[in-house]
Structure 1
Amino acid sequence: MKKVLVSLAVVFVLLAAAGVGAFWWVEQAAHQAVAAPGATPVEFTVPKGTSGRGLGVLLANQGLIRDARVWRWHLFRRGSFSPKAGRHPVSPSMTVAELATVLEGNPLPDDIPFLVVEGWRLRDTDAALTAAGFITAGAYITAASNPSRFTAPFPLPTTTLEGYLYPESYGVIPGKFDVEDLIQRQLNAFGERFYTPNRDAISKSGRTLHEVVVMASMLEREEPVPDQRPLVAGILWKRVDKGYPLGVDATSRYVLAQWNDRKAFLQRLRDPEDPYNTRHRKGLPPGPIGAPTVASLQAAMAPTPSEFWYYLHDAQKTLRPSRNAEEHEALRRKYNVY
């Protein structure tokens, strides 16, 4: 009997020792990350309907924890745990406790980037949104043709928001896309990027905001190098102020279904009745011809004065300004630009 009791005592001690050892191992593992600090962040997705305990296997499979049992032990010690379904930014450098905290936080938004390219017209953005499956054709143009539905810290035109919808990348959620929400965000971006920080400078420029936007939309298409746009703006404003036609061919492309349709473009150039034909008509065109960036807006607001009246670009897109028609024609012949 005594031997039996001794044997049981030995077993008990061994089990207790094993339990203490297991407890120590789990505790240590719960406070140690899989990787050293600075490991590359990754995204971990909490599937909808997955229990907190069930995440242990997924975390282990993705190499974020060493053992699912460590995760279950932490949740037991932690008590309540309410993970949120979706994508979460995590790292192998995080401890189990840190991972649990992140997974209870708000997941990353389910949006994807949609790029509005600089210089795009309303019709170009509408076509891109349609091709991406976000809208039915024409929905963007229709919404942007009703400025009264939107707000801005600057005066909005009455008929169309062409030129005021800032070109940059916007996050959109497939299946939950709201065309008016995108337009309002573009107006907000226009205000934040250009209008608000330049409000006083615009008022001192001698031009209205709308005139600045119209000029900037031409600069966006006319001059590929942002640093050269102030000089081009100075030439164009001088021609406007002195009553000379601008001669900006990009304006004649504005109404084309396809911007690079050369045949249709040449027809527009020969039409003196086209209000956008700035070879024949003096002054600014009737409205903006696309979406300008801050670089173009600032150039239109603060042009660089010069002795030049004309300009062209050679085959390498280098700006070649000239002081008079004779110099301009000589540059045409020299660089074969017609």
Structure 2
Amino acid sequence: MNNPMRKLILALVAICFLAVVAISGFVLYQAHHFLNTPPELPGRDVTVTIEQGATFDAVATMLAEKGLVTNAHYFALLGKWKEAAASIQAGEFEMNTSWKPSKILDTLLHGKPILYKLSIPEGLTWWQTAQAIQDAGYANATKIDELVHDPDLLAQYNIPFDSAEGFLFPDTYLLTRKETENPHFIVELLLKTFWKNADKVWPDGTPDADTLKRIVILASVVEKETGAPEERGTIAGVYDTRLKRNMLLQADPTVIYGLGKEFDGNLTRKHLDDPKNPYNTYRHAGLPPGPICSPGLDALMAAAHPEAHDYLFFVAKGNGTHQFSKTLRQHINAVRKYQLKK
């Protein structure tokens, strides 16, 4: 090979080498810049929803569109390098455009999704519970109604009534956005929470169906009768004693429940005298045919372990607590004092 040709070849090799070095250097610079430079300063908060089953490439593209990463391809490569592509969480996440890609990726892998609160107070009826869920902006009350009366769901959760009344456990729940829109998930969550708490009431195992029915019904009446935790055992004891003596329970909340959704808040003598109301414990002996609300843990514990005492009556004092009496004469005097103000 002549000398000029050799010089040309060496020059071309040198140029190619320098080009490769330059390109590699540029790529390394780009990668370094991508990893260490936030998309925006100062940043802004961005809410990101990762759907179940979303591919990492699709997530990377979405993050780039929202301004959370500057290059979807580089972020996808980062995920593959970290072997994280198959491990991202589904859910709704709060991120910021001032974050570096490593923090974005860590949030997808280990961050806590945004959770929404659902508060179900003690003593709500099933229709009040359904309305509370809808009022929170979550699942539709009509669909909750269907599920509460779904025979298959009732059988699945061993509920011995024709509705889930009494088993929609009151608590404060934290849900993802997707869960708030799923009525089936919400109803099942309330039912599962009942059975978790049942383990505290019956640590040796759930009682037979008849005992379970009796205790849940009694607990629901106790829950409606008082908001004072220290009284629940005493009130359960009153009703337990009356039942053992074949006395009518004469519980206003049971009558009210039997009047249903249309009750206007005014309980009259006509209501108390109506034998057509199956929940009227002024006219029908024993417990009502089903729970009248979903009781909390304290009321369930009280019904399962009622206080042993001789009280047969109680009357509201007007301050959230009650005066308990052993005889009718004592009760009449208490009514005169606290109700009639005489």
TM-score scaled to structure 2, two decimals?
Answer: 0.68
Pairing 1:274–2:277 present: yes
1:89-122 C-alpha deviation (Å, 9 max, x unpaired): 6799x9763443223557726x643333321112
**Residue type matched to 2:194 in 1?**
F
| Conserved 8 A contact 1:152-1:187 | no
Partner SS state of residue 254, structure 1: helix
Q: Return the match for 2:228 from 194, 215, 225.
A: 225
| Conserved 8 A contact 1:114-1:169 | yes
Where does residue 148 of structure 1 map in the other structure? Answer: 152
Partner SS state of residue 180, structure 1: helix
Where does residue 240 of structure 2 map in the other structure? Answer: 237
Tell me how far apart the structure 1 counterparts of residues 249 and 288 of structure 2 sit (CA, whole Å): 9
| Conserved 8 A contact 1:165-1:186 | yes
Tell me how far apart the structure 2 counterparts of residues 298 and 315 of structure 1 sit (CA, whole Å): 25
Partner SS state of residue 262, structure 1: coil
1:21-71 C-alpha deviation (Å, 9 max, x unpaired): xx8xx79x959xxxxxxxxxx8864799675797599569xxxxxxx89xx
Question: How many percent of aligned residue pairs carry the same amino acid?
Answer: 21
Where does residue 329 of structure 1 map in the other structure? Answer: 332
Deviation at 1:175, TM superposition (A): 9.3
Where does residue 187 of structure 1 map in the other structure? Answer: 191
Pairing 1:101–2:121 present: no
| Conserved 8 A contact 2:257-2:292 | yes
Deviation at 1:145, TM superposition (A): 2.1
Tell me how far apart the structure 2 counterparts of residues 96 and 172 of structure 1 sit (CA, whole Å): 24
**Residue type matched to 1:233 in 2?**
A
Tell me how far apart the structure 2 counterparts of residues 122 and 57 of structure 1 sit (CA, whole Å): 42
Partner SS state of residue 147, structure 2: helix
| Conserved 8 A contact 2:68-2:96 | no
1:220-254 C-alpha deviation (Å, 9 max, x unpaired): 11011122101110111000111011111000110
Gaps (5+ residues) in structure 2? 1-24, 38-44, 52-57
Q: Return the match for 2:314 from 307, 311, 314.
A: 311
5 Å-filtered alignment, 1:192-203, equals 192-195=196-199, 198-200=202-204, 203=207
Deviation at 1:167, TM superposition (A): 2.0
Measured at CA, do residues 141 and 56 of structure 1 come closer, stay the same or move farther in structure 2, by a change above 3 Å? closer
Deviation at 1:318, TM superposition (A): 2.1
Partner SS state of residue 113, structure 1: strand
| Conserved 8 A contact 1:215-1:233 | yes
Gaps (5+ residues) in structure 1? 1-18, 32-41, 61-67
5 Å-filtered alignment, 1:76-225, equals 80=81, 87-88=92-93, 97-104=102-109, 108=113, 112-129=116-133, 132=137, 134-135=139-140, 137=142, 139-150=143-154, 155-170=158-173, 171=175, 173=177, 177-195=181-199, 198-200=202-204, 203=207, 208-225=211-228
Pairing 1:296–2:299 present: yes
Tell me how far apart the structure 2 counterparts of residues 172 and 265 of structure 1 sit (CA, whole Å): 44
Instruction: Answer 1 or 2: which has greater helix percent.
Output: 2
- The CA RMSD over aligned residues, in Å, is 4.6
Tell me how far apart the structure 1 counterparts of residues 284 and 179 of structure 2 sit (CA, whole Å): 46
Deviation at 1:263, TM superposition (A): 3.6
Where does residue 5 of structure 1 map in the other structure? Answer: none
Where does residue 287 of structure 1 map in the other structure? Answer: 290
